[in-house]
A and B are shown apart, each in its own frame.
Chain A
């Protein structure tokens, strides 16, 4: 209580130091290629230029295709995760099934699997069904990761829906599903927003499935395209950092808008189940 201002100064300094990598990414992306090697380094890009963005995102078709693929993969993944996940979370919170314990264990265990452990057999299975190098395959793979996560995080929210309201809806003639959809879902909107945000964050940044299941340049998400370009960007740090910044921007924007929900949800989800 004596020195809140001193604490603010200390915390600000700490956060600034901790976020140096993020600043350095943006700063590098705004430099002239030659200035990148200056000693001592220019802390503030002088002169600042958006040339790296013009050269990559706006002129390189591969980067465009990568961003497009990421979008085509992310949106259906988000929708499927919510459409399948929300009812499951509701069911697991509101009904006692004989299989509840088993299903919950399955969902928790699924979250702990290394992505590569799924990607490897999926590659083998998908190649038999013509799903390798298709958006459908990539979407299925991504949902396999986001769905368990979504159900586990949503369950506490669903559990908190007052049973009386649901019962009343049933007596007013709603089916079990109708009660869930009309009464339950609107009440858990914050939870849905949180899960949607995290699903977006996870899928947009996904790398392993893209690397293993998308074999052609055309289908690869931007994360993989970026990685493929490391060789040619080897010394072009400005370009590499420009694309990295572009990949990070949607995440940062979504997070700034919705961070309240996300932080609350993650705390809940991490500490309870």
Chain B
């Protein structure tokens, strides 16, 4: 049936007068906007508008009570100046960066190691690979609570295992410790993100031609030098996509940290999204929350532009 239809198409099209054809094409192209119109309007209404609204809200003194009564006050740039002058903001930015970069480092190293193992041929490969994917799709609320339990100071499994094999002399109160809380949330976040990294890196590895490896073997290259001189350079484009996506997804993480530590102890794990939440929904100051929120948006937006440009170039 398909072939007859295609044949009919080629038969009829030259018979049409060119003028009518052109006219029809134009009206068709206007009509085709209907495909994207609902989605475009929706995104403008629920993303673009709220973001502009947010930037604007940052110019107002708007505690929730005042906001609901409609008596907010224009305060110009003062809240932005205040946020930029507040060490809290910079500490949070620093925490965000440490958190994000450490998670990416784990994603790249562990993800690459897993990917190399799973590009080899062995029975059960596919099944094991998809099992490994489970942490990525688990709701972050679930993952965060499980890790809270695993890292519990008195009865947590992590402490039990580590003290039994004597890696640590005594139990650590991971989430209550200003030193260990950040590494703990990094570990939990990386646990969920590594499978995603692995998936993309596997795809990258499969694109490296076998012949390259065979040539290296003929030249007598060892495993390490093959890895560093062939795999890593050829994998670079994929690794940079993983790093970029990892940055974007980790930088915006809120749930995992909120559930595990609420940003504490003190401000040890207060990343920027937590700070914005605290301002708006704990201190009930929408204006000041919006200010932090605007600052929080700058970095992902810059990265979005980089990502967009890099994918455009390839396409």
For A223, what are the chain B residues with a Cβ–Cβ distance below 8 Å?
139, 141
With A21-B147, A24-B149, A270-B200 already in contact, the answer to whether A120 and B286 are too (CB < 8 A) is yes
Query: Which segment, of A46-54, A57-65, A104-112, faces chain B?
Result: A104-112
Within 142-200 of B, Cβ neighbours of A (below 8 Å) are at: 142-143, 145-147, 149-150, 152, 154-155, 157, 160, 164, 191, 196, 199-200
Q: How large is the interface on B (under 10, 10 to 19, 20 to 34, 35 or more residues)?
A: 35 or more
Whether A114 pairs with B122 at a CB distance below 8 angstroms is no
Whether A165 pairs with B2 at a CB distance below 8 angstroms is yes
For B114, what are the chain A residues with a Cβ–Cβ distance below 8 Å?
14
For A11, what are the chain B residues with a Cβ–Cβ distance below 8 Å?
117-118, 122, 124-125, 128
Q: Which of the residues B9, B34, B141, B200 comes within 8 Å of A205, measured between beta carbons?
A: B141
**Interchain CA distance A121-B308 in the complex, whole Å:** 25
With A5-B122, A11-B128, A267-B199 already in contact, the answer to whether A144 and B32 are too (CB < 8 A) is no
**Interchain CA distance A109-B46 in the complex, whole Å:** 13
Q: Which of the residues B33, B202, B296 comes within 8 Å of A114, measured between beta carbons?
A: B296
Closest Cβ–Cβ distance, residue A98 to chain B (whole Å): 10
- Most chain A C-beta atoms within 10 Å of own C-beta, residue among B120, B137, B300: B137
Contact with B along A66-100 (1 / 0, CB 8 A): 00000000000000000011011011100101010
With A21-B150, A41-B160, A212-B281 already in contact, the answer to whether A121 and B53 are too (CB < 8 A) is yes
**Interchain CA distance A266-B200 in the complex, whole Å:** 8
Whether B47 pairs with A8 at a CB distance below 8 angstroms is no
A22 close to chain B: CB less than 8 A: yes
A117 close to chain B: CB less than 8 A: yes
Whether A247 pairs with B139 at a CB distance below 8 angstroms is yes
B40 close to chain A: CB less than 8 A: yes
A188 close to chain B: CB less than 8 A: no
For B259, what are the chain A residues with a Cβ–Cβ distance below 8 Å?
207, 227, 230
Whether B300 pairs with A112 at a CB distance below 8 angstroms is yes
Contact with A along B112-132 (1 / 0, CB 8 A): 001001101111110010111
Query: Which segment, of B87-95, B210-218, B250-258, faces chain A?
Result: B250-258
Whether B138 pairs with A103 at a CB distance below 8 angstroms is no
B289 close to chain A: CB less than 8 A: yes
Whether B304 pairs with A112 at a CB distance below 8 angstroms is yes
For B196, what are the chain A residues with a Cβ–Cβ distance below 8 Å?
266, 270
Closest Cβ–Cβ distance, residue A93 to chain B (whole Å): 10
CB nearest neighbor in B for A21: B146
For A266, what are the chain B residues with a Cβ–Cβ distance below 8 Å?
196, 199
**Interchain CA distance A102-B155 in the complex, whole Å:** 53
A214 close to chain B: CB less than 8 A: no
Whether B128 pairs with A41 at a CB distance below 8 angstroms is no
B241 close to chain A: CB less than 8 A: yes
For A107, what are the chain B residues with a Cβ–Cβ distance below 8 Å?
43
**Interchain CA distance A120-B283 in the complex, whole Å:** 13
For B258, what are the chain A residues with a Cβ–Cβ distance below 8 Å?
207, 211
- Most chain B C-beta atoms within 10 Å of own C-beta, residue among A113, A169, A251: A113
With A120-B293, A201-B137 already in contact, the answer to whether A15 and B146 are too (CB < 8 A) is no
A273 close to chain B: CB less than 8 A: yes
Within 214-273 of A, Cβ neighbours of B (below 8 Å) are at: 223, 226-227, 230, 237, 240-241, 244, 247-248, 251-252, 255, 259, 262-263, 266-267, 270-273
Q: List 16 A-B contacts (CB under 8 A).
A: A7-B120, A11-B122, A21-B150, A107-B43, A112-B252, A114-B252, A117-B273, A117-B293, A120-B54, A121-B53, A124-B286, A151-B39, A171-B9, A172-B5, A201-B137, A266-B196
Apart from A109-B304, A117-B54, A237-B149, what are 12 other A-B pairs with CB-CB below 8 Å? A5-B123, A11-B117, A91-B32, A92-B35, A95-B35, A109-B300, A113-B252, A116-B252, A117-B296, A147-B39, A171-B8, A247-B142
